[in-house]
């Protein structure tokens, strides 16, 4: 595998003439829009990485005339704040992505589900939305967008939990199938896309799939906005080409003493120093929705793990056994190991539990708790025990 | 002081009476009243023709839809990893000393409630907190004192 | 049809079938916990996970529809490990005081633990980390959150079957729990005490409040005369917990067992069911007359039956504006209770204060009903203790009775005689059928025009049933009904009741008489019946009830000799002043949460 260095990109925040891009999209046949997005290789930017073009294609194939485009702005992964920045700076591009998605799949209704923590942004977002609605009406689109607010629940970032929340219920993930493209919000075919994905799709239409797919690697096309925090001299938002190694990333953003990088937030993977060189940030290595946290040698990885487990024990929706009870067991287990109240070999039992959670939980939350747990415990076992 | 029942009616007029109106209505009550009283939840249940237990069950799922009594200003200090690493405890101690309450409590004058919360998306400017919906970032104990003083003057 | 393979056995099933159901067709057992045949799929507990070749994760067999070419394995190492973990996790959040638990040996979690989690437990006890409280506020049941494993069967029951949602899922993550409105005591919320949740709880988190010890104390007290009445639905279900198949009638053995337990007199709720027909039938005909002949605006139609205490509490909470439509008749249990300490005491020359009146019911709401302040018209608490079918089984076992080898015997008198019309009270539509058998005959002087008196349109398990009977050739007193078409409707399960009430409230329904039973299938599917109760079991109990009816000497309530006697000797006419005082009641509007 070719290793890449670090390459800064300016695509997401690039100023565009929205009227121009949308006029092009307006005159483009449905199938062509979908094909361009398919050709670009764009995968969902929320973390799960499902090919965006396929999602649109499946939604477009549904017969029901009522379809929805939902923008997932429930960014809750610890260490992620890119969607707030995107909405703050280029919300018009998010809306533009939604109307293009609507055109592609045959939906007339868009919903932005914005996390409650970002409510302070709403007035400016609504003002921009008014302007946007005027613009697309002039172009000729039959599409309108409204906002729904979250109220503090990490799990609502899971697509079907988000639908439940929009519909006025507890944000509990649904059984799948049916998938959202068949039965999403209000039981209607729905394409649900992350904020950044929608902007990227807009840029694919603007620049063409060829120029976009030249960026990145075979499995991880394009660029991505990273949220960088922790022990770094330059915390903040950076758009980078995909395919770099963790080492390249640390060289740019580390403080010279980086011992580990948590890629993908609490549900992501901990990469220790010894693996920086051979770990690629992307779907062929460690995937991420953009959260990058750096830890230097002054940090206790026990505290990091404890913080994550505490987070999951609270933010699990609680409906399925492996996640609800498993999170509590992992948390209580590491506490007892640390205090010496159970043998350190108990960590081995907990790793097996994490494996069960990965295969038996109902949704992505429970399935991914084990990622951080295993990579931290396996790489920093001594810090957990002593 | 407005009547909560009237507020609920006003909100149902605005958002409708279907199940999908529940979240906006609950959010509307909390926006005006900081928390959901039993009375408000029962009235919402009546208006939407769903059970009060369902209203409570839904509200209690969401961290920001408090069903316990809260003050006019609800302070939520982020406790997730970066904020924890960057001085969250000091911020909390400063707030506890200044407001003379512990985490989870409300001041006697019902002006401030002090809570912790999970990641609010300001990790690059940690530590951070929300007061009602407004974020405050890159906090220091000194900065926190100034912020709270400005809120105290508001009343 | 969809073709798939389960444990290397090929099968074709209809599209939409779940893997669980497909496996059952192959007699492959996949363990379940949150799944219940009466309820929608939840997919929460994950006990039923199976492996699909090529899939990244395991899949929940109960929630996953089959797909063409699926290759499923239900017993791989990966599956076994996960299942063992899941059962162990559930045990870690469950207060496992099994030996003292009311559900010991009839607990689905315990059964799973026997299969998957014997030996040393892997995980840490989480019960101690939660501030659990046990809610004993309801007279009908106990809610113990420390035994709750969050399968949500109770919540789905309360919502889907009963349209009450007195309980809901609250909070999230580690704090998630099943809660009433803002954790208020169950006695203070809309709960109807129907006990359907109790019947579906897989563990001891929801159990009936038991009064077995109080009943034993009374039996052993030489100063007390302890009488017992048994509801019609008990005799067709009791056997299930004593080694019989569902649907086997054990009436005669039950009577003998009760006598052996030490009850001084073994009597029959069916007697007062017949009495209910006399009172309710008369009330109904009187209402018809008031509305049709007198044009009385204050008399409400349709009239609703009032035998089911869960239904009564439901309407008091949810449709208080329709309370005038409720028959003022007490339920058979409470009619019996009021007469036990008056008429029976008089006949037996007993001081009513020494009578302890016990009833065996398929129902948990009956415990609540007996506690209602209105139910003291004898001057005493009319019914002292209500036991469920399940509690009677426990007493039989405690007494060491060899039930199977008992000689059947008959009920004592007085208040022990009954008819087939009373027996069918135990099934949905039964009260309606019994009422029609009598009312039609009063009005026309002829038997109802159905073969063998079986009014089949009101029978069966359809959620809402309707029927109409043309009234012709009336006797002189009822000439005003000549040519009228009497329209009736029947609903069982409160979700169906709610649908019907909406139609009544909006004026869309034009029925004259409506029978409602709170529980699916009527009393035979009551919350106090043996566990499990499901559609198949209910059907068998129903068949047993109609078979019992066919075997009775008398089939019409007005033919019951004990009923004829009590009117002659004690009550006078149906709806007489004394009847009103003892056999009728009133209702109370209640809070909507």
- Could you give all domains of chain B from N- to C-terminal order, each with its CATH number? 4-59 (no CATH), 73-154 (3.40.30.10)
CB atoms within 10 A of CB C293: 11
Choose, from C108, C279, C283, C548, the residue flagged as catalytic: C283
Q: Which pLDDT band holds residue A1 (cuts at 50, 70, 90)?
A: very low
Asked if the model's pLDDT at residue C118 lies above 90, the reply is no
CB atoms within 10 A of CB C149: 24
C280 is catalytic: yes
The mean pLDDT value of chain B amounts to: 96
**Cβ(C293)–Cβ(C274) below 8 Å:** no
C348-378 pLDDT tens trace: 999 999 999 999 999 999 999 999 999 999 9
Most A CBs within 10 A among C79, C173, C178, hence the mutation to make, goes to C173
- Cβ-proximal residues to A138 (8 Å cutoff; 6+ apart), any chain: A19
Asked if the model's pLDDT at residue A303 lies above 70, the reply is yes
Answer yes or no: do B23 and A151 touch at CB < 8 A: yes
Q: Determine the pLDDT at residue B3.
A: 78
- Report the pLDDT averaged over residues C275-303: 94
Q: Which two tokens stand for residue A355?
A: 């494996």
The mean pLDDT value of chain C amounts to: 97
- Report the pLDDT averaged over residues A107-122: 98
pTM of full prediction above 0.80: yes
Q: Which fold has domain A301-385?
A: de novo design (two linked rop proteins) (1.20.1440)
The Cα C524–Cα B42 span in angstroms is: 34
Answer yes or no: do A325 and C169 touch at CB < 8 A: no
> Which tops the pLDDT comparison, A3 or A348?
A348
- Report the pLDDT averaged over residues B44-60: 97
The Cα A113–Cα A130 span in angstroms is: 17
Going along chain C from its start, the domains and CATH numbers come out as 2-75 (3.10.20.740), 100-107+121-208 (3.30.70.20), 212-271+333-405 (3.40.50.1780), 282-329+419-533+545-583 (3.40.950.10)
Q: Which residues of A touch C (CB under 8 A)?
A: 153, 155, 170, 172, 175, 177, 312-322, 324-329, 332-333, 336, 342, 349, 352-353, 356, 358-362, 367
- Report the chain B residue with the minimal C-alpha distance to residue C163: B51
DSSP C25-77: HTT-----SS--TTS-----S-TTEEEETT-SS-EETTTPBP-TT-EEESS-H
Q: CATH 1.20.1440.230: which residues of chain A?
A: 301-385
Give burial (CB, 10 Å; 0-12/13-18/19+) of C577: exposed
Q: Name chain B contacts of C180, Cβ cutoff 8 Å.
A: 53
Q: Determine the pLDDT at residue B155.
A: 64
A115-158 pLDDT tens trace: 999 999 999 999 999 999 999 999 999 999 999 999 999 999 99
- List, edge to edge, every strand of the sheet that includes C485-492: C303-304, C513-517, C485-492, C464-470
Q: CATH 3.40.50.11540: which residues of chain A?
A: 18-213
Choose, from C177, C374, C539, C576, the residue flagged as catalytic: C374
**Cβ(C266)–Cβ(C234) below 8 Å:** no
Asked if the model's pLDDT at residue A321 lies above 60, the reply is yes
A164-183 pLDDT tens trace: 999 999 999 999 999 999 99
- Report the chain C residue with the minimal C-alpha distance to residue B60: C171
Q: Is the CATH number of domain A18-213 3.10.105.10?
A: no
- Cβ-proximal residues to A113 (8 Å cutoff; 6+ apart), any chain: A70, A71, A72, A73, A74, A147, A148, A149, A150, A156, A162, A165, A166
**Cβ(B53)–Cβ(C163) below 8 Å:** no
Q: What's the complex ipTM?
A: 0.97
Q: Determine the pLDDT at residue B2.
A: 55
């Amino acid at each position: 595998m070719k290793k890449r260095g670090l390459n800064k990109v300016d695509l997401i925040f690039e100023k565009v003439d929205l009227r121009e891009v949308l006029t092009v999209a307006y005159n483009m046949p449905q199938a062509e829009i979908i094909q361009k997005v398919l050709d670009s290789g764009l995968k969902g930017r929320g973390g799960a990485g499902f090919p965006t073009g396929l999602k649109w294609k499946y939604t477009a194939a549904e017969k029901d005339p009522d379809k929805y485009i939902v923008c997932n702005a429930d960014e809750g992964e610890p260490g992620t704040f890119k969607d707030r920045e995107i909405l703050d700076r280029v919300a018009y591009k998010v809306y533009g992505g939604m109307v293009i998605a609507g055109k592609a799949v045959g939906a007339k209704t868009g919903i932005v589900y914005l996390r409650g923590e970002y409510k302070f942004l709403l007035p400016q977002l609504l003002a921009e939305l008014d302007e946007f609605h005027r613009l697309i009406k002039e172009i000729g689109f039959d599409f309108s967008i409204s906002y729904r607010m979250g109220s503090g629940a990490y799990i609502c970032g899971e697509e079907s939990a988000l639908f439940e929340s929009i519909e006025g219920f507890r944000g509990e993930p649904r059984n799948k199938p049916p998938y959202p493209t068949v039965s999403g919000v209000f039981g209607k075919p729905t394409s649900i896309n992350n904020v950044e994905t929608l902007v990227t799709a807009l840029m694919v239409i603007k620049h063409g799939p060829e120029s976009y797919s030249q960026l990145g690697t075979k499995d991880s096309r394009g660029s991505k906005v990273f949220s960088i925090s922790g022990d770094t001299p330059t915390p903040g938002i950076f758009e980078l080409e995909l395919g770099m190694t963790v080492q390249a990333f640390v060289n740019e953003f580390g403080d010279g003493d980086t011992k580990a990088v948590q890629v993908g937030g609490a549900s992501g993977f901990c990469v220790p120093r010894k693996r920086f060189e051979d770990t690629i940030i992307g779907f062929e290595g460690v995937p991420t929705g953009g959260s990058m946290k750096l830890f230097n040698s002054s940090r206790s990885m026990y505290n990091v793990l404890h913080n994550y487990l505490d987070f999951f024990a609270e933010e699990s929706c609680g409906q399925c056994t492996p996640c609800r009870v498993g999170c509590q067991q992992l948390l209580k287990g590491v506490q007892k190991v640390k205090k010496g109240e159970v043998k350190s070999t108990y960590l081995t039992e907990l790793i097996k539990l994490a494996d069960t959670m990965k295969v038996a939980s109902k949704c992505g939350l429970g399935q991914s708790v084990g990622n951080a747990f295993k990579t931290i415990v396996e790489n920093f076992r001594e810090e957990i025990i002593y | 002081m407005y009547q909560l029942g009237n507020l609920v009616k006003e909100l149902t007029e605005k958002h409708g009476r279907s199940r999908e109106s529940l979240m906006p209505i609950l959010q509307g009550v909390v926006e005006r009243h900081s928390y959901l009283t039993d009375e408000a939840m029962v009235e919402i249940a009546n208006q939407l023709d769903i059970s009060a237990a369902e209203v409570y069950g839904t509200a209690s799922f969401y961290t920001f839809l408090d069903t316990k009594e809260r003050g006019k200003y609800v302070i939520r200090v982020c406790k997730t990893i970066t904020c924890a690493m960057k001085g969250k405890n000091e911020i909390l101690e400063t707030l506890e000393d200044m407001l003379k309450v512990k985490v989870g409590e409300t001041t006697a004058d019902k002006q401030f409630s002090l809570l912790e919360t999970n990641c609010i998306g300001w990790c690059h400017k940690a530590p951070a907190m929300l007061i009602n919906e407004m974020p405050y970032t890159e906090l220091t104990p000194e900065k926190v004192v100034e912020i709270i003083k400005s809120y105290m003057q508001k009343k | 049809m969809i073709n798939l393979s389960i444990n290397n056995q090929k099968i074709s099933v209809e599209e939409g079938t779940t893997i669980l159901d497909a496996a059952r067709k192959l007699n492959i057992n996949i363990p379940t916990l949150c799944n219940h045949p009466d309820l929608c799929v939840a997919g929460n507990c994950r006990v039923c996970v199976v492996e699909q070749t090529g899939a990244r994760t395991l899949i929940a067999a109960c929630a996953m529809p089959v797909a063409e070419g699926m290759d499923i394995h239900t017993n791989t190492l990966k599956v076994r490990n996960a299942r063992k973990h899941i059962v162990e996790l559930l045990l870690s959040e469950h207060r496992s005081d099994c030996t003292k638990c009311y559900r010991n040996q009839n607990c689905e979690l315990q059964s799973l633990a026997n299969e998957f989690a014997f030996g040393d437990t892997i995980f840490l006890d989480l019960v101690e980390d939660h501030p659990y409280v046990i809610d004993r506020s309801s007279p009908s049941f106990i809610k113990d959150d420390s035994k709750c494993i969050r399968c949500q069967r109770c919540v789905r029951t309360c919502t889907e079957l009963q349209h009450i949602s007195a309980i809901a899922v609250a909070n999230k993550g580690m704090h998630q729990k099943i809660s009433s409105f803002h954790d208020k005591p169950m006695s203070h919320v809309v709960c109807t005490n129907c006990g359907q949740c109790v019947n579906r709880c897989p563990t001891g988190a929801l159990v009936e409040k038991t009064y077995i010890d109080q009943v034993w104390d009374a039996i052993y007290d030489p100063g007390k005369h302890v009488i017992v009445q048994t509801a019609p639905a008990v005799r067709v279900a009791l056997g299930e917990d004593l080694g019989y198949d569902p649907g086997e009638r054990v009436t005669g053995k039950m009577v003998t067992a009760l006598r052996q337990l030490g009850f001084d007199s073994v009597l029959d709720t069916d007697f007062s069911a017949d009495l209910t027909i006399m009172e309710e039938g008369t009330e109904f005909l009187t209402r018809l007359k008031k509305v049709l002949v007198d044009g009385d605006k204050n008399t409400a139609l349709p009239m609703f039956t009032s035998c089911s205490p869960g239904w009564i509490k439901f309407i008091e909470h949810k449709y208080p504006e329709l309370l005038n439509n409720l028959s003022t008749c007490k339920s058979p249990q409470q009619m019996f209770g009021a007469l036990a300490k008056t008429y029976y005491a008089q006949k037996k020359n007993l001081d009513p204060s020494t009578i302890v009146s016990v009833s065996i019911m398929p129902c948990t709401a009956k415990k609540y009903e007996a506690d209602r302040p209105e139910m003291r018209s004898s001057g005493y608490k009319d019914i002292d203790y209500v036991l469920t079918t399940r509690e009677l089984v426990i007493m039989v076992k405690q007494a060491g009775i060899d039930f199977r080898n008992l000689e059947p015997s008959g009920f004592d008198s007085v208040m022990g005689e009954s008819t087939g019309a009373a027996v069918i009270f135990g099934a949905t539509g039964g009260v309606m059928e019994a009422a029609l058998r009598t009312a039609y005959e009063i009005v026309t002087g002829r038997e109802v025009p159905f073969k063998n008196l079986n009014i089949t349109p009101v029978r069966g398990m359809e959620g809402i049933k309707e029927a109409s009977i043309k009234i012709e050739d009336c006797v002189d007193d009822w000439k005003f009904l000549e040519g009228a078409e009497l329209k009736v409707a029947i609903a069982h399960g409160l979700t169906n009741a709610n649908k019907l009430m909406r139609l009544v409230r909006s004026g869309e329904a034009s029925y004259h008489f409506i029978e409602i039973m709170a529980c699916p299938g009527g009393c035979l599917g009551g919350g106090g019946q043996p566990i499990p109760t499901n559609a198949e079991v209910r059907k068998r109990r129903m068949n047993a009830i109609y078979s019992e009816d066919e075997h009775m000497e008398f089939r019409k309530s007005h033919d019951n000799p004990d009923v004829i006697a009590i009117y002659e000797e004690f009550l006078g006419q149906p709806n007489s002043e004394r009847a009103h005082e003892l056999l009728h009641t009133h209702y109370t509007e209640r809070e909507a949460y």
